Amino acid sequence: MPSFTYSARDKAGAIQKGSLVAVDRAGATAALAEKELTPILVKEAAAGHSGSFMDRFAAFNKVKLQDKVIFSRQFATMINAGVPIVQALNILREQSESKKLSHVISEVAKQVEGGATLANALSGHPEVFNNIYINMVRAGETGGILDDVLDRLATQQEKDAEIISKVRSAMIYPAVITTATVAAFFFLMTVIVPKLASIFADAGASLPIYTKIMLAISGFMVHYWYYLIIGAMVAVVVFVRWYKTPAGHQFVDQFMLRAPIIGPILVKVNVARFARTFGSLMASGISVLDALGATKSALNSSVYRQELEIVAQKVKNGRPMSEQIRASKHFPAIVGQMLAVGEETGKIDEILLKLASFYEREVDTVIAGITSIIEPILILVLGSMVGFIVISVFGPISALSSSV
């Protein structure tokens, strides 16, 4: 929304000057009247860059999830204590350690002061506040439970942050081991093996087939390494472009859900996020169809997004939501059964939030054991690779020593 500068006279006759945000000039005049100010001049501010260099640079930064959690929790506390929304936003703007978030809060406060609802003001910053956040805030404003809604949002964001952090932490160890294994393989094949190849060539020894294969691989890596780099880059570009297509995204997501180790984790993560997001939206008074639409956008898996589209269509046709969930092969049976109980008792939100807590604990348990599962697999792969090189190299060396 545009910004307006104004000159107005207060009840005492003193001239007041300032700026505000409104839909149009009439909206700005009405906002001044609400403040018991008589407009003298209301003028739309010229578009341009305002603020310090750091403030403008902050617009390119990302807001951390933890910063949004703190913002939501503190905002809920202030609203519950009776602090006006604009005043609470200005206090939070000063307290925020994130330059980007501080800048956004400032813009939101101006728009609310200009007459916009909090949800509409937040919707102007989709890079910070997603559809779920905006829809829940709008429901909270309508139902007069904004503080409760903000508290639920903070809890939901905290749970999301915990799951993401634990999954990333669990992947660090396998990633480090895999990187070290690949680096060791390249070092052996490009530095050590070529030196041994010259020894075999000088001796004119008859080499077994597996040694010839290893020497051929080593020779290709040494003389045509640039083909490997170009091939890897082309493969990555082709894969990324294919993955961005609906068919590619769907195929990869299906494959990941069926993968032996990562699959069960992804199922639990998606079910936990679905249950907590949908339950929070329902608890905020949002309709089933709107809640399904917002929840769908919160899930990373295209498979589960497609499932929720089918569920929404069934609900539009008058069918119970639990019916399609139970028919789905991607949702565990307990989810459909619990939803059916919730539909019968009218407590879908409570049941889903309890289900979310259950699956979040399941994710914790699986992630805690993932290292013990992956470690022997990585050791087996590393041992097989090193064993192949050792047999290929030391077999011919032993034969040469015997002949000498």
Residue 138 lies in a domain: no
Residue among 318, 311, 321, 314 at smallest CA distance from 348: 321
Residue among 289, 274, 263, 285 at smallest CA distance from 356: 274
Whole-angstrom distance, CA of residue 184 vs CA of residue 44: 65
Q: What is the mean pLDDT of the chain?
A: 81
pLDDT tens-digit map of 210-244: 788 888 888 888 888 888 889 999 999 999 999 98
**Residue 61: pLDDT above 70?**
no
Q: Which residue has the higher pLDDT, 313 or 376?
A: 313
Residue 362 lies in a domain: yes
Residue 136 lies in a domain: no
Q: Which residue has the higher pLDDT, 178 or 257?
A: 257
| Domain of residue 365, residue span | 156-404
- Tokens read off for 323: 């019916």
Residues 209 and 255 in one domain: yes
Q: Which residue has the higher pLDDT, 260 or 89?
A: 89
Residues 36 and 124 in one domain: no
Mean pLDDT for 383-403 is 71
Q: Tell me how crowded residue 127 is: count the other CB atoms within 10 A of its CB.
A: 10
Residues 263 and 313 in one domain: yes
The percent of residues in the chain predicted with pLDDT above 90, rounded, is 7
Q: What is the CATH number of the domain that holds 94?
A: 1.20.81.30
The residue behind tokens 């898996």 is 301
pLDDT band at 54 (very low <50, low <70, confident <90, very high): very low
Residue 149 lies in a domain: no
Residue 145 lies in a domain: no
Residue among 1, 4, 125 at smallest CA distance from 58: 125
pLDDT in the model for residue 52: 46
20: phi then psi, degrees, rounded to nearest 5 = -155, 165
Q: In what order do the strands lie in the sheet with 3-9?
A: 15-21, 3-9, 38-44
Whole-angstrom distance, CA of residue 333 vs CA of residue 124: 40
**Residue 45: pLDDT above 70?**
no
The DSSP call for residue 8 is E
Mean pLDDT for 368-391 is 76
Residues 122 and 62 in one domain: yes
Q: Which residue has the higher pLDDT, 370 or 107?
A: 107
Residue 292 lies in a domain: yes
Residues 222 and 353 in one domain: yes
pLDDT band at 55 (very low <50, low <70, confident <90, very high): very low
Residue 140 lies in a domain: no
pLDDT in the model for residue 162: 79
**Residue 180: pLDDT above 80?**
yes
pLDDT band at 57 (very low <50, low <70, confident <90, very high): very low
CA dihedral 181, 187, 188, 192 (to 10 degrees): -160
Question: In this structure, which amino acid lies at residue 112?
Answer: V
Answer positive or negative: Cα dihedral of 84, 85, 87, 91. Answer: positive
Answer positive or negative: Cα dihedral of 224, 225, 231, 234. Answer: negative
Residues in Cβ contact with 366 at an 8 Å cutoff, skipping those fewer than 6 apart:
264, 265, 268
Helix and strand counts by DSSP (H, E) for the chain: 18, 3
* Alpha helices, DSSP H, located in 204-332: 209-223, 225-244, 246-258, 262-283, 288-298, 302-316, 321-327
pTM above 0.75, yes or no: no
pLDDT tens-digit map of 108-142: 998 888 888 898 888 888 888 887 788 888 888 87
pLDDT tens-digit map of 289-310: 888 888 887 787 889 989 999 9
Q: How many domains does the chain have?
A: 3
pLDDT in the model for residue 5: 75
Whole-angstrom distance, CA of residue 90 vs CA of residue 86: 6
The DSSP call for residue 346 is T
**Residue 51: pLDDT above 60?**
no
**Residue 49: pLDDT above 60?**
no
Residues in Cβ contact with 22 at an 8 Å cutoff, skipping those fewer than 6 apart:
1, 2, 4, 28, 30, 31, 114, 115
**Residue 205: pLDDT above 80?**
no
Mean pLDDT for 393-402 is 66
pLDDT in the model for residue 398: 66
- Tokens read off for 234: 């082309």
Residues in Cβ contact with 215 at an 8 Å cutoff, skipping those fewer than 6 apart:
193, 197, 200, 207, 392
Whole-angstrom distance, CA of residue 245 vs CA of residue 43: 48
Residues 28 and 57 in one domain: no
Residue 35 lies in a domain: yes
Residues 309 and 384 in one domain: yes
Whole-angstrom distance, CA of residue 264 vs CA of residue 192: 41
The percent of residues in the chain predicted with pLDDT above 70, rounded, is 91
pLDDT in the model for residue 161: 79
